[in-house]
Amino acid sequence: MSEQSPSVLLLVPAYNEEQRIEPVLRDYARHFRAHYPGPFQLVVVLNGCVDDTLGVVQRVAADFPEVTWREFPGRIGRGGR
């Protein structure tokens, strides 16, 4: 992906989504590559995960550099509470 800012930024909140998140991220990345001409970024917001959600996201990011992540060690909860 180029160094310019994405014109589409999709935030995907995740808490212990190891079993479900991989096909979702791959489908989104494929869809945007095929149907959106500009730069895009999918950012997974990891919120206190205790499973291997991060490992799954990193595996997808190896194939789709548009996928990145931000990790918060403690659970923020809905609305930051």
pTM value surpassing 0.95: no
Look at residue 81 and tell me if it is in a domain.
no
What tokens does 81 get? 């509470």
- Condensed to tens digits (0 to 9), the pLDDT of residues 21-48 reads 999 999 999 999 999 999 999 999 998 8
Mean pLDDT of 72-81: 66
Length of the chain: 81
> What is the span of the domain harbouring residue 15?
8-75
The total number of structural domains that make up the chain? 1
Tell me the CA distances in angstroms from 63 to 2, 27, 72, 77, one per residue in order. 16, 12, 23, 30
Look at residue 45 and tell me if it is in a domain.
yes
